Amino acid sequence: MSQVIALVDDDRNILTSVSIALQQEGFVTRVYSDPALALRAISDSPPDLGVFDIKMPGMDGMELLRRVREFSTIPVIFLTSKDDELDEALGLAMGADDYISKPFSQRLLIARIRALLRRQELARGEAVATDEEEAPLLERGRLTMDPARHKVRWDGKDVSLTVTEFLILESLAQRPGVVKTRNQLLDVAYNDDVYVDDRTIDSHIKRIRRKFRSAAPEFDAIETLYGVGYRFDEQ
């Protein structure tokens, strides 16, 4: 089945050209020039991935992402203004999985989309079938992670994480008590051709903690070692 990409941009020329390019690559596209309409459509029928422009009238891309993250963990790529580092940092901090600066190459965008969808498939155990057994559960005290189904639980309660958040937590939980630097976690969370400040990891950790504390207010399993990095405390 073809994967569905939601494109949200107030520039109809970009919507048309990107949509045609993606369709030629075998994707199904849904295009929206109105972010509010896009939000309703994504809520009713989530796509496999979203590409959101940041600067749009009415509801900007960051607000759209914030609202989408209330009900969905679909991967999201932001389209940002050229060299606007503030947009990039804020977007990643809010839970975007990648960003591309305008003007951009459609070939680059398609490559990023494929890479992110591939990461999602691997995280969910949906990659091309082999004779190998699916990834086993990762159980660390009160934490249970199911890489094959992209499921996370704390004390039996479901916690919804994005692909990037899942990869960061999985890296920490694989070796409880071992400190992971920000750069090590960046290597896990992002492709080599994505350049982000290492402090972006801090924002992702805050989001992970906030989500777990919604399920368990006393959650403190991720420990900060100031000036060094983070480690998972098996409880």
Q: What is the pLDDT of residues 141-169, one digit of tens each?
A: 999 998 777 789 999 999 988 777 888 99
Check if the beta carbon of residue 39 is closer than 8 Å to that of residue 68.
yes
For residues 61 and 1, give the distance between their C-alpha atoms in angstroms, rounded to a whole number.
28
pLDDT of 9 higher than 80: yes
Q: Mark out the alpha helices in the chain (DSSP H runs).
A: 12-24, 35-44, 61-68, 85-93, 106-124, 163-174, 182-189, 200-215
| pLDDT given for residue 198 in this prediction | 61
pLDDT digits (tens, 9 = 90+) for 115-134: 788 877 766 665 444 444 55
> Lowest mean pLDDT: which of 24-38, 82-96, 208-222?
82-96
Domain 138-232 listed as CATH 1.10.10.10:
yes
| pLDDT given for residue 84 in this prediction | 56
Please give the C-alpha separations between residue 107 and each of 55, 102, 158, 174, 190, in angstroms, as whole numbers. Answer: 22, 13, 37, 35, 19
| pLDDT given for residue 131 in this prediction | 41
Residue range(s) occupied by CATH 3.40.50.2300 in the chain: 4-124
Average pLDDT value over all residues in the chain: 84
The CATH class given to the 4-124 domain equals alpha beta
pLDDT digits (tens, 9 = 90+) for 201-215: 888 898 899 899 998
For residues 186 and 126, give the distance between their C-alpha atoms in angstroms, rounded to a whole number.
23
Residue range(s) occupied by CATH 1.10.10.10 in the chain: 138-232
| pLDDT given for residue 33 in this prediction | 95
CA quadruple 194, 195, 201, 202: dihedral sign: negative
